[in-house]
Amino acid sequence: MLDKLERLPADSILGLAAACRADPNPSRVDLTIGIYMDEQGLCPVFDAVRQAQQALVAEEVTKAYMPPAGDEAFIQGMQRLVLGDGSSALRDKRVGGVQAPGGCGALRIGAEIVRAAAPDARVWVSDPTWPVHFPLLGSVGLTFETYRYYDPSSHGVDFDAMVEDLKQAVSGDVVLLHGCCHNPCGADLSLQQWGVIAGMAQQQGFTPFIDFAYQGLGDGLEQDAAGLRLVVERVPEVIIAASCSKNMGLYRERTGIALFVCRDEANAQALVSQALVAARRIYSMPPAHGALLAGRILRSETLEASWRGELEAMCQRINGLRSGLRQKLEDRSGRDFGFIQREKGMFSFLGLSPEQALRLRREYSVYMLDSSRINVAGVNARNIDYLATAVAAVL
Protein backbone atom coordinates (compact mmCIF):
# COMPACT_ATOMS: atom_id res chain seq x y z
CA MET A 1 0.00 0.00 0.00
CA LEU A 2 2.56 2.58 1.10
CA ASP A 3 5.16 1.97 -1.59
CA LYS A 4 2.90 3.67 -4.14
CA LEU A 5 3.62 7.02 -2.60
CA GLU A 6 6.23 9.13 -4.32
CA ARG A 7 8.76 11.34 -2.67
CA LEU A 8 7.59 14.98 -2.68
CA PRO A 9 9.89 17.95 -3.21
CA ALA A 10 11.13 19.66 -0.04
CA ASP A 11 9.54 22.95 1.01
CA SER A 12 11.23 25.50 -1.25
CA ILE A 13 12.05 28.03 1.49
CA LEU A 14 13.44 25.42 3.87
CA GLY A 15 15.34 23.91 0.92
CA LEU A 16 16.97 27.26 0.13
CA ALA A 17 17.94 27.80 3.76
CA ALA A 18 19.55 24.35 3.80
CA ALA A 19 21.41 25.12 0.55
CA CYS A 20 22.75 28.30 2.13
CA ARG A 21 23.95 26.45 5.23
CA ALA A 22 25.76 23.97 2.96
CA ASP A 23 27.39 26.73 0.87
CA PRO A 24 31.17 26.79 1.62
CA ASN A 25 31.50 30.50 0.76
CA PRO A 26 32.32 32.23 4.09
CA SER A 27 30.56 35.38 2.82
CA ARG A 28 27.24 33.59 2.27
CA VAL A 29 24.15 35.56 3.29
CA ASP A 30 20.91 33.85 4.33
CA LEU A 31 17.86 36.04 3.76
CA THR A 32 15.46 33.14 3.20
CA ILE A 33 13.49 31.83 6.13
CA GLY A 34 11.23 34.08 8.22
CA ILE A 35 12.89 34.00 11.58
CA TYR A 36 14.39 36.93 13.44
CA MET A 37 18.17 36.88 13.57
CA ASP A 38 20.40 39.10 15.70
CA GLU A 39 23.75 40.67 14.80
CA GLN A 40 25.44 37.28 15.28
CA GLY A 41 22.98 35.62 12.92
CA LEU A 42 21.31 33.78 15.81
CA CYS A 43 17.63 33.54 16.59
CA PRO A 44 17.83 34.45 20.29
CA VAL A 45 15.85 33.33 23.34
CA PHE A 46 14.25 36.34 25.07
CA ASP A 47 15.47 36.94 28.64
CA ALA A 48 11.87 36.94 29.86
CA VAL A 49 11.33 33.55 28.22
CA ARG A 50 14.47 32.20 29.88
CA GLN A 51 13.33 33.44 33.28
CA ALA A 52 9.78 32.14 32.85
CA GLN A 53 11.22 28.81 31.77
CA GLN A 54 13.45 28.51 34.82
CA ALA A 55 10.50 29.21 37.10
CA LEU A 56 8.28 26.80 35.18
CA VAL A 57 10.81 23.97 35.35
CA ALA A 58 11.27 24.56 39.09
CA GLU A 59 7.56 24.68 39.83
CA GLU A 60 5.97 22.30 37.35
CA VAL A 61 4.50 19.29 39.13
CA THR A 62 2.67 17.55 36.32
CA LYS A 63 2.68 16.88 32.63
CA ALA A 64 -1.01 16.03 32.58
CA TYR A 65 -2.96 17.36 29.58
CA MET A 66 -3.72 21.05 29.41
CA PRO A 67 -7.35 22.12 29.68
CA PRO A 68 -8.60 21.72 26.07
CA ALA A 69 -8.95 25.49 25.50
CA GLY A 70 -5.46 26.05 26.89
CA ASP A 71 -3.80 27.93 29.72
CA GLU A 72 -6.08 30.57 31.23
CA ALA A 73 -3.28 33.10 31.88
CA PHE A 74 -2.18 32.73 28.27
CA ILE A 75 -5.69 33.18 26.89
CA GLN A 76 -6.39 36.25 29.06
CA GLY A 77 -2.97 37.74 28.36
CA MET A 78 -3.19 37.24 24.61
CA GLN A 79 -6.69 38.69 24.42
CA ARG A 80 -5.43 41.82 26.18
CA LEU A 81 -2.27 41.99 24.07
CA VAL A 82 -4.06 41.62 20.75
CA LEU A 83 -7.30 43.51 21.40
CA GLY A 84 -6.00 46.08 23.88
CA ASP A 85 -7.03 46.96 27.44
CA GLY A 86 -9.84 49.21 26.24
CA SER A 87 -11.49 46.66 23.95
CA SER A 88 -15.28 46.89 24.16
CA ALA A 89 -15.55 43.36 22.76
CA LEU A 90 -13.53 42.08 25.72
CA ARG A 91 -15.56 44.17 28.17
CA ASP A 92 -18.76 42.69 26.72
CA LYS A 93 -17.27 39.17 26.95
CA ARG A 94 -17.94 38.60 23.24
CA VAL A 95 -14.50 37.11 22.58
CA GLY A 96 -13.70 33.39 22.65
CA GLY A 97 -10.10 32.21 22.69
CA VAL A 98 -8.58 28.80 22.07
CA GLN A 99 -4.87 28.08 22.45
CA ALA A 100 -3.46 26.50 19.29
CA PRO A 101 -0.21 25.00 18.01
CA GLY A 102 1.29 28.20 16.61
CA GLY A 103 -0.28 30.73 14.31
CA CYS A 104 -0.65 27.90 11.80
CA GLY A 105 -2.77 25.90 14.23
CA ALA A 106 -4.88 28.99 14.91
CA LEU A 107 -5.38 29.59 11.18
CA ARG A 108 -6.47 26.00 10.73
CA ILE A 109 -8.90 26.15 13.68
CA GLY A 110 -10.31 29.42 12.28
CA ALA A 111 -10.77 27.72 8.91
CA GLU A 112 -12.61 24.83 10.58
CA ILE A 113 -14.99 27.31 12.19
CA VAL A 114 -15.61 29.06 8.88
CA ARG A 115 -16.28 25.76 7.17
CA ALA A 116 -18.73 24.70 9.92
CA ALA A 117 -20.58 28.02 9.72
CA ALA A 118 -20.56 28.48 5.95
CA PRO A 119 -19.39 25.42 3.98
CA ASP A 120 -19.47 27.38 0.70
CA ALA A 121 -17.50 30.32 2.05
CA ARG A 122 -14.92 31.78 -0.29
CA VAL A 123 -11.71 33.00 1.32
CA TRP A 124 -10.38 36.18 -0.26
CA VAL A 125 -6.60 36.30 -0.06
CA SER A 126 -4.21 39.08 -1.02
CA ASP A 127 -2.06 38.77 -4.12
CA PRO A 128 0.52 37.82 -3.01
CA THR A 129 -0.03 36.09 0.31
CA TRP A 130 1.94 33.71 2.51
CA PRO A 131 1.84 30.47 0.45
CA VAL A 132 1.05 28.32 3.50
CA HIS A 133 -2.39 29.98 3.73
CA PHE A 134 -3.51 27.79 0.83
CA PRO A 135 -2.90 24.36 2.36
CA LEU A 136 -3.86 25.53 5.86
CA LEU A 137 -7.27 26.85 4.86
CA GLY A 138 -7.80 24.91 1.68
CA SER A 139 -7.42 21.47 3.26
CA VAL A 140 -10.57 22.19 5.26
CA GLY A 141 -12.43 22.48 1.97
CA LEU A 142 -12.66 26.24 1.62
CA THR A 143 -12.14 27.79 -1.79
CA PHE A 144 -10.13 30.90 -2.60
CA GLU A 145 -10.56 34.17 -4.43
CA THR A 146 -7.73 36.65 -4.83
CA TYR A 147 -7.78 40.39 -4.32
CA ARG A 148 -5.12 42.63 -5.81
CA TYR A 149 -2.83 44.02 -3.11
CA TYR A 150 0.83 44.65 -3.87
CA ASP A 151 1.85 46.85 -6.76
CA PRO A 152 5.44 45.95 -7.77
CA SER A 153 5.92 49.22 -9.63
CA SER A 154 5.15 51.45 -6.64
CA HIS A 155 6.30 48.86 -4.06
CA GLY A 156 3.14 49.69 -2.14
CA VAL A 157 -0.46 48.62 -1.68
CA ASP A 158 -2.68 49.17 -4.72
CA PHE A 159 -5.56 50.13 -2.47
CA ASP A 160 -7.96 51.15 -5.24
CA ALA A 161 -7.55 47.73 -6.86
CA MET A 162 -7.95 46.00 -3.50
CA VAL A 163 -11.22 47.84 -2.82
CA GLU A 164 -12.49 47.19 -6.33
CA ASP A 165 -11.87 43.43 -5.96
CA LEU A 166 -13.29 43.21 -2.46
CA LYS A 167 -16.53 44.79 -3.64
CA GLN A 168 -17.36 41.27 -4.82
CA ALA A 169 -16.98 39.75 -1.32
CA VAL A 170 -20.38 39.03 0.15
CA SER A 171 -21.94 37.89 3.40
CA GLY A 172 -20.75 34.32 3.98
CA ASP A 173 -17.33 35.11 2.49
CA VAL A 174 -14.16 35.59 4.50
CA VAL A 175 -11.49 38.19 3.77
CA LEU A 176 -8.07 37.17 5.01
CA LEU A 177 -6.01 40.19 6.05
CA HIS A 178 -2.45 40.39 7.33
CA GLY A 179 -2.72 42.30 10.63
CA CYS A 180 0.70 43.94 10.17
CA CYS A 181 4.09 43.30 8.53
CA HIS A 182 2.61 41.68 5.43
CA ASN A 183 4.34 38.44 4.46
CA PRO A 184 5.82 38.46 1.83
CA CYS A 185 5.72 42.11 0.74
CA GLY A 186 6.04 44.24 3.92
CA ALA A 187 3.48 46.74 2.54
CA ASP A 188 0.78 47.41 5.15
CA LEU A 189 -2.54 49.23 5.10
CA SER A 190 -2.73 52.69 6.66
CA LEU A 191 -5.19 53.16 9.51
CA GLN A 192 -7.45 55.08 7.18
CA GLN A 193 -7.40 52.16 4.72
CA TRP A 194 -8.22 49.72 7.53
CA GLY A 195 -11.21 51.96 8.21
CA VAL A 196 -12.37 51.62 4.61
CA ILE A 197 -12.08 47.81 4.75
CA ALA A 198 -13.99 47.76 8.07
CA GLY A 199 -16.73 49.85 6.44
CA MET A 200 -16.94 47.44 3.52
CA ALA A 201 -17.22 44.49 5.94
CA GLN A 202 -20.06 46.26 7.74
CA GLN A 203 -21.90 47.09 4.52
CA GLN A 204 -21.28 43.92 2.54
CA GLY A 205 -21.37 41.50 5.47
CA PHE A 206 -18.15 39.59 4.79
CA THR A 207 -16.15 38.33 7.79
CA PRO A 208 -12.62 39.61 8.35
CA PHE A 209 -10.10 36.89 9.27
CA ILE A 210 -6.92 38.54 10.49
CA ASP A 211 -3.61 36.69 10.47
CA PHE A 212 -1.58 38.36 13.21
CA ALA A 213 1.85 36.74 13.27
CA TYR A 214 4.13 39.78 13.62
CA GLN A 215 2.67 42.07 16.31
CA GLY A 216 5.48 44.23 17.65
CA LEU A 217 7.87 43.84 14.73
CA GLY A 218 6.59 46.69 12.57
CA ASP A 219 6.24 49.88 14.61
CA GLY A 220 5.51 48.47 18.08
CA LEU A 221 2.96 46.30 19.89
CA GLU A 222 0.22 48.92 20.11
CA GLN A 223 0.80 50.59 16.75
CA ASP A 224 0.84 47.26 14.92
CA ALA A 225 -2.52 46.31 16.44
CA ALA A 226 -4.27 49.59 15.57
CA GLY A 227 -5.81 48.39 12.28
CA LEU A 228 -6.99 45.10 13.78
CA ARG A 229 -8.51 46.89 16.79
CA LEU A 230 -10.32 49.35 14.55
CA VAL A 231 -11.88 46.44 12.64
CA VAL A 232 -12.88 44.73 15.91
CA GLU A 233 -14.53 47.93 17.18
CA ARG A 234 -16.60 48.32 14.03
CA VAL A 235 -17.33 44.83 12.72
CA PRO A 236 -19.41 42.49 14.92
CA GLU A 237 -17.73 39.23 13.87
CA VAL A 238 -13.98 38.87 13.37
CA ILE A 239 -11.67 35.84 13.45
CA ILE A 240 -8.05 36.33 14.52
CA ALA A 241 -5.09 33.93 14.38
CA ALA A 242 -2.28 35.29 16.57
CA SER A 243 1.17 33.78 17.00
CA CYS A 244 3.93 34.09 19.62
CA SER A 245 6.51 32.53 17.31
CA LYS A 246 8.12 35.77 16.23
CA ASN A 247 7.33 38.31 18.93
CA MET A 248 8.26 36.00 21.82
CA GLY A 249 10.74 33.89 19.85
CA LEU A 250 8.72 30.75 20.67
CA TYR A 251 8.84 29.34 17.15
CA ARG A 252 9.51 25.71 18.02
CA GLU A 253 7.17 25.70 21.00
CA ARG A 254 4.17 26.11 18.67
CA THR A 255 2.37 28.85 20.56
CA GLY A 256 -0.64 30.62 19.13
CA ILE A 257 -4.28 31.45 19.72
CA ALA A 258 -7.47 31.56 17.69
CA LEU A 259 -9.71 34.42 18.79
CA PHE A 260 -13.35 34.72 17.82
CA VAL A 261 -14.97 38.12 18.22
CA CYS A 262 -18.70 37.43 18.19
CA ARG A 263 -22.01 39.25 18.43
CA ASP A 264 -22.57 38.18 22.05
CA GLU A 265 -21.18 36.10 24.89
CA ALA A 266 -23.31 33.03 24.14
CA ASN A 267 -22.06 32.95 20.55
CA ALA A 268 -18.45 33.33 21.71
CA GLN A 269 -18.91 30.33 23.99
CA ALA A 270 -20.53 28.36 21.18
CA LEU A 271 -17.55 29.06 18.93
CA VAL A 272 -15.08 27.94 21.59
CA SER A 273 -17.01 24.66 21.90
CA GLN A 274 -16.89 24.26 18.11
CA ALA A 275 -13.16 25.03 18.05
CA LEU A 276 -12.51 22.43 20.75
CA VAL A 277 -14.32 19.75 18.75
CA ALA A 278 -12.31 20.76 15.66
CA ALA A 279 -9.05 20.57 17.64
CA ARG A 280 -10.09 17.15 18.97
CA ARG A 281 -10.40 15.96 15.37
CA ILE A 282 -6.92 17.20 14.43
CA TYR A 283 -4.49 17.15 17.37
CA SER A 284 -6.71 16.72 20.41
CA MET A 285 -4.90 18.88 22.97
CA PRO A 286 -2.72 21.96 22.60
CA PRO A 287 1.02 21.80 23.38
CA ALA A 288 1.74 23.27 26.82
CA HIS A 289 5.26 24.59 27.14
CA GLY A 290 5.23 27.75 25.01
CA ALA A 291 1.80 28.90 26.18
CA LEU A 292 2.75 28.36 29.83
CA LEU A 293 5.82 30.55 29.27
CA ALA A 294 3.87 33.24 27.42
CA GLY A 295 1.15 33.10 30.09
CA ARG A 296 3.73 33.62 32.83
CA ILE A 297 5.24 36.57 30.98
CA LEU A 298 1.88 38.21 30.34
CA ARG A 299 0.69 37.85 33.92
CA SER A 300 3.90 39.22 35.49
CA GLU A 301 4.51 42.97 35.36
CA THR A 302 8.30 42.56 35.51
CA LEU A 303 8.55 39.79 32.94
CA GLU A 304 6.18 41.59 30.60
CA ALA A 305 8.18 44.82 30.90
CA SER A 306 11.42 42.96 30.18
CA TRP A 307 9.87 41.21 27.16
CA ARG A 308 8.39 44.43 25.81
CA GLY A 309 11.79 46.14 26.09
CA GLU A 310 13.58 43.38 24.24
CA LEU A 311 10.92 43.25 21.53
CA GLU A 312 11.13 47.00 21.10
CA ALA A 313 14.89 46.72 20.62
CA MET A 314 14.32 44.02 17.99
CA CYS A 315 11.83 46.21 16.19
CA GLN A 316 14.21 49.18 16.27
CA ARG A 317 17.01 47.01 14.96
CA ILE A 318 14.90 45.85 12.02
CA ASN A 319 13.95 49.43 11.22
CA GLY A 320 17.59 50.49 11.51
CA LEU A 321 18.56 47.72 9.09
CA ARG A 322 15.85 48.89 6.73
CA SER A 323 17.24 52.42 6.60
CA GLY A 324 20.85 51.20 6.44
CA LEU A 325 20.11 48.82 3.58
CA ARG A 326 18.17 51.46 1.71
CA GLN A 327 21.10 53.87 1.99
CA LYS A 328 23.72 51.36 0.90
CA LEU A 329 21.66 50.08 -2.03
CA GLU A 330 20.99 53.61 -3.21
CA ASP A 331 24.66 54.58 -2.87
CA ARG A 332 25.81 51.60 -4.91
CA SER A 333 23.07 51.47 -7.53
CA GLY A 334 21.91 55.07 -7.88
CA ARG A 335 18.33 53.75 -7.78
CA ASP A 336 15.48 54.50 -5.40
CA PHE A 337 15.15 51.94 -2.61
CA GLY A 338 13.02 54.18 -0.35
CA PHE A 339 10.35 51.48 -0.24
CA ILE A 340 12.57 49.33 1.99
CA GLN A 341 12.31 51.99 4.65
CA ARG A 342 8.56 52.47 4.17
CA GLU A 343 7.76 48.77 4.47
CA LYS A 344 7.22 47.03 7.80
CA GLY A 345 8.40 43.92 9.59
CA MET A 346 10.82 41.28 8.44
CA PHE A 347 10.06 41.09 4.72
CA SER A 348 10.42 43.11 1.54
CA PHE A 349 10.64 42.30 -2.14
CA LEU A 350 13.82 43.78 -3.58
CA GLY A 351 12.16 43.99 -6.99
CA LEU A 352 14.59 41.63 -8.73
CA SER A 353 13.71 39.07 -11.39
CA PRO A 354 14.02 35.34 -10.60
CA GLU A 355 17.11 35.31 -12.86
CA GLN A 356 18.73 38.07 -10.82
CA ALA A 357 17.88 36.22 -7.58
CA LEU A 358 19.48 33.11 -9.06
CA ARG A 359 22.61 35.02 -10.07
CA LEU A 360 22.92 36.36 -6.54
CA ARG A 361 22.76 32.82 -5.25
CA ARG A 362 25.17 31.31 -7.79
CA GLU A 363 27.72 34.11 -8.07
CA TYR A 364 27.59 35.74 -4.63
CA SER A 365 26.11 33.12 -2.26
CA VAL A 366 23.36 35.59 -1.38
CA TYR A 367 20.22 33.55 -0.74
CA MET A 368 16.75 35.02 -1.10
CA LEU A 369 13.51 33.63 -2.51
CA ASP A 370 13.11 33.62 -6.30
CA SER A 371 10.52 36.37 -5.83
CA SER A 372 13.38 38.45 -4.30
CA ARG A 373 11.66 38.42 -0.90
CA ILE A 374 14.30 39.04 1.71
CA ASN A 375 14.25 38.58 5.47
CA VAL A 376 15.56 41.97 6.54
CA ALA A 377 16.55 40.53 9.93
CA GLY A 378 19.14 38.38 8.13
CA VAL A 379 21.12 41.55 7.37
CA ASN A 380 23.81 42.58 9.86
CA ALA A 381 26.83 44.86 10.17
CA ARG A 382 29.11 42.15 8.75
CA ASN A 383 27.13 41.39 5.59
CA ILE A 384 25.35 44.62 4.70
CA ASP A 385 28.10 46.05 2.47
CA TYR A 386 28.69 42.75 0.70
CA LEU A 387 24.94 42.34 0.17
CA ALA A 388 24.44 45.84 -1.22
CA THR A 389 27.42 45.44 -3.58
CA ALA A 390 26.14 42.07 -4.80
CA VAL A 391 22.60 43.33 -5.40
CA ALA A 392 23.87 46.41 -7.26
CA ALA A 393 26.05 44.12 -9.42
CA VAL A 394 23.09 42.11 -10.72
CA LEU A 395 20.75 45.06 -11.33
Ligand X SMILES: Cc1ncc(COP(=O)(O)O)c(C=O)c1O
Residues that bind ligand X (CB under 6 A): 34, 102-104, 130, 183, 211, 213, 243, 245, 251, 256
CB of 263 to ligand X, least distance (A): 26
Nearer to ligand X, 104 or 268 (CB): 104
Q: Is the dihedral of CA 216, 218, 222, 226 positive or negative?
A: negative
Q: Rounded to whole angstroms, how far apart are CA atoms 23 and 39?
A: 20
DSSP class of residue 263 equals S
Nearer to ligand X, 96 or 256 (CB): 256
Nearer to ligand X, 144 or 386 (CB): 144
Annotated catalytic residue 213: yes
DSSP class of residue 370 equals T
Phi-psi region of 210 (alpha: psi -120 to 50; beta: other; left: phi over 0): beta
Q: Rounded to whole angstroms, how far apart are CA atoms 348 and 203?
A: 33
CB of 248 to ligand X, least distance (A): 10
- Within 8 A by CB and 6+ apart from 61, the residues are none
What's the length of the chain? 395
CB of 347 to ligand X, least distance (A): 8
Phi then psi for residue 256, to 5 deg, are -155, 180
Smallest CA-to-CA distance from 126 within 226, 79, 193, 171 is with 193
Nearer to ligand X, 215 or 365 (CB): 215
Catalytic residue among 71, 158, 173, 211: 211
Catalytic residue among 17, 89, 106, 213: 213
Catalytic residue among 69, 71, 130, 188: 130
Annotated catalytic residue 246: yes
CB of 286 to ligand X, least distance (A): 13
Nearer to ligand X, 34 or 216 (CB): 34
| Identity of the amino acid at 284 | S
Q: Rounded to whole angstroms, how far apart are CA atoms 344 and 188?
A: 7
Nearer to ligand X, 206 or 347 (CB): 347
CB of 328 to ligand X, least distance (A): 26
Q: Rounded to whole angstroms, how far apart are CA atoms 14 and 32?
A: 8
Catalytic residue among 246, 258, 307, 357: 246
Annotated catalytic residue 130: yes
Q: Rounded to whole angstroms, how far apart are CA atoms 250 and 283?
A: 19
CB of 88 to ligand X, least distance (A): 26
Q: Please say whether the beta carbons of 179 and 218 come within 8 A.
A: no
Kindly list the catalytic residues.
Answer: 130, 211, 213, 246
